[in-house]
Amino acid sequence: MKNWLKLAMAMATVVPSHMAGAQSSPRFPEIPLEQLTPAQKKWADSVSAPPRGANFRQPPYRIYLRNPELAERITGLSDYLRWNTQFPARLTEFAILLASRNQNVRWAWRSHYKAAIKGGLDPKVGVELAAGKRPSGMQEDEAALYDLATEIFRDKKVSDATYATALAKFGESGMVELISLMGYYDLVGMLLIAGNAQPPDDPEVPALQPMPR
């Protein structure tokens, strides 16, 4: 009996070979510069230039790099939605934070939190959003965007009242821009989640807390 018990305990500590290293193996690892195809190199050079100034060796760019033709279209959409809409950075970056918060994507949250604060978002709003709360002290347009995003992500429907408020604040064209921006970062978030992208801790960025259900 004792021998069977010892055997069972020993087997319990064995990690199946197909699971060993599953969490430590890098996903979409960096591609050495000399191994890039001409199309990959062209795209990497384009995103490294201003105004983006991206590091294509970091997520999500090294994930996009797997398909440079798609990457070119993805970043073209990003360029418009981030820098060429009718809205100030305070609101566009807040939209990105809302998408990141609702997907619990730490990489995108960390990347855009400081940009939102720099753009004029009240830091208290960011702290309360990270905590899973409806932020107090939001400006009227921020509150309209928060309610619109919350109903889209959480409820999968938008009430007439929320739609009317957003329409009054943003207009039809503006609503399409802001919803598309959040949708774009939904795409980014899915790629980051699949790539298991985990950013280093930053004491200046509030950590995302579990969302209340």
Which whole number is the average pLDDT over 176-202?
Answer: 96
Which whole number is the average pLDDT over 74-98?
Answer: 96
Which whole number is the average pLDDT over 140-169?
Answer: 98
The half-sphere exposure of 47 on its side-chain side, counting CA atoms within 13 A, is 26
Given a contact cutoff of 8 angstroms between Cβ atoms, the answer to whether 177 and 91 are in contact is: no
Report CA torsion sign: 140, 142, 145, 149: negative
pLDDT of 23:
52
Given a contact cutoff of 8 angstroms between Cβ atoms, the answer to whether 61 and 72 are in contact is: no
pLDDT of 24:
57
What is the residue type of 27? R
Judge whether 184 lies within some domain: yes
Judge whether 94 lies within some domain: yes
Which whole number is the average pLDDT over 158-168?
Answer: 98
- Each residue of 23-37: pLDDT tens digit? 557 799 999 999 999
Distances, alpha carbon 86 to alpha carbons 13, 96, 138, 160, in Å: 58, 15, 20, 24
- Orientation angle between helical segments 160-194 and 68-83, nearest 10 degrees: 140
What's the chain's average pLDDT?
A: 89
Judge whether 51 lies within some domain: no
pTM of this prediction? Answer: 0.85
Residue from 4, 5, 69 nearest 40 by CA:
69
Burial class (CB in 10 A: 0-12, 13-18, 19+), 186: middle
Number of domains comprising the chain: 1
Length of the chain: 213
pLDDT of 3 strictly over 50: no
Given a contact cutoff of 8 angstroms between Cβ atoms, the answer to whether 100 and 112 are in contact is: yes
CATH code of 161's domain:
1.20.1290.10
Which whole number is the average pLDDT over 134-149?
Answer: 97
Which whole number is the average pLDDT over 189-209?
Answer: 95
Q: Which two tokens stand for residue 172?
A: 């039809």
Which whole number is the average pLDDT over 192-200?
Answer: 94
Judge whether 148 lies within some domain: yes
Enclosing domain of residue 105: 82-194
Judge whether 119 lies within some domain: yes
Cβ within 8 Å of residue 122, ≥6 positions away: 137, 138
pLDDT of 144 strictly over 60: yes
pLDDT of 13 strictly over 70: no
Burial class (CB in 10 A: 0-12, 13-18, 19+), 211: middle
Judge whether 112 lies within some domain: yes
- Each residue of 118-129: pLDDT tens digit? 999 999 999 999
Judge whether 145 lies within some domain: yes
Which whole number is the average pLDDT over 5-13?
Answer: 39
pLDDT of 190 strictly over 60: yes
pLDDT classification of 63: cutoffs 50, 70, 90:
very high
Judge whether 169 lies within some domain: yes
Q: Which two tokens stand for residue 21?
A: 């290293």
Which whole number is the average pLDDT over 61-77?
Answer: 96
